[in-house]
Amino acid sequence: MVQGIRYKVQGSKTSTVPKPISVFGEKTSSPQSTIANPKSLRLGLFGGAFNPIHLGHLRAATEIQEAFSLSRILFIPTAVPPHKVTWNLLPFAHRLKMVRLAIAGHPFLKASDIEKKRGGKSYSIRTLRYFKQTFGPKVELFFIIGIDAFLEINTWREYCNLFKLCHFVVMDRPGYHRNRIQEFLLREIDPDIIYFPKENRFLHPSGLSIYLFSITLMDISSTRIRRLRQINQSIRYLLPEPVEDYIIRRNFYVP
């Protein structure tokens, strides 16, 4: 625990915070019921380099879409990453094409080229504001992110304002303890965040939530796929077959 910060845990005997309320404003003893039965349209935003997209991305998106009753999930390839080295990053058009090949035929998964159309560096705060302005209050936004990236969110532009625009779905990964999330949120985001341990949910003072969500763990990464290509080994069964064919036909990721 960070010295000097009071950690509010909802439901503990010493807690003085109010009784649980749902993130959507309806009083309930089980906010999860509103997750399974939403009263609004919900849009998931899944950003990343997707260099390349792989089965781990697709499985995570599918599980999150079902668990949070999302109307759809948008895969948003980064055009100009603010933080990542870009020397081995394929041009945006190829990464977008691979995303479209990967999700073809899936009714809940779509691709967005907004970060290319907008131009400039791909700051998440700009993307969120765009979707917020485009859809207005009728749509709830769920920002999907891995726990490793989430623990670096304090390096992002206007990071504190992100939590006023959308819910977060933070995907668990091996080697990252949830206590790190608790300490990080209180220290870097807001000391008045409330924790609901039974739901693995943190409630931000804005009324929006940060959900910790366990996905099926698949030992697949874009980095591993690129490395396998560099040493002339197979990448089969790590990504959709159309994406594999696209990479091989164009001789991507080889020295």
Determine the length of the chain.
255
Per-residue pLDDT at 178: 74
Q: What is the pLDDT of residues 109-157, one digit of tens each?
A: 999 999 999 888 899 999 999 999 999 988 999 999 999 899 999 999 9
Domain boundaries, the chain: 42-249
* CB distance 199 to 157 below 8 Å: no
Q: DSSP secondary-structure letter at 251?
A: T
Residue-level pLDDT at 85:
62
Give the fold, CATH level 3, of 42-249.
Rossmann fold (3.40.50)
- d(C-alpha 25, C-alpha 34), whole Å: 10
pLDDT, tens only, 203-226: 999 999 999 999 998 989 999 999
| 118-to-115, 123, 124 alpha-carbon distances in Å | 5, 10, 12
| pLDDT score at 211 | 97
**Chain-wide mean pLDDT for the chain?**
86
Which residue is it, tokens 């993130």? 23
Task: With a cut of 90, say whether residue 40 has pLDDT above it.
Answer: no
Q: pLDDT of 221-243, one tens digit each?
A: 999 999 999 999 999 999 999 99
Q: What is the pLDDT of residue 33?
A: 41
